[in-house]
Structure 1
C-alpha cells in the first residue's frame, strides 16, 4: 500500500502540469490518491476525501 501511495502522490502534479487542474483524468488521479491514503489510515475513506476536497478549495 505504501508503494501505491508514493506513486499516487507523485502523479497529480504531473497531471496538472500536462492536462490541467480541471481535467477529468487529473481529478481521477487525485481521487485514487485520496482513496489509497484513506485505506492506509484509520479514518473512513469518505472522511479523508472531505478533507482533501476542502484543502484543494483553499
Structure 2
C-alpha cells in the first residue's frame, strides 16, 4: 500500500530528497506522493517533522 501525505503537511520539503524513487513532488499547498511509483519504504515518513506521510 503506497504512502500518502495528509493535510498536516507544512510543505517543508524534507521528504522529497529522501525518496529513493523520486515519487514525491510539490503539490498545491502540500507535497504529494505518486502512488503508482511509491515502493512503500517509509523514508518520507522518517524524514517528516510532522508525520504527514502515512501508509494509505
TM range (shorter): 0.3 to 0.5
Structure with higher RCO (Cα < 8 A, 6+ apart): 2
Q: What TM-score do the two structures reach when normalised by structure 1?
A: 0.32
- Structure number with bigger Rg: 1
Relative to total residues, which structure has the larger helix share, 1 or 2? 1
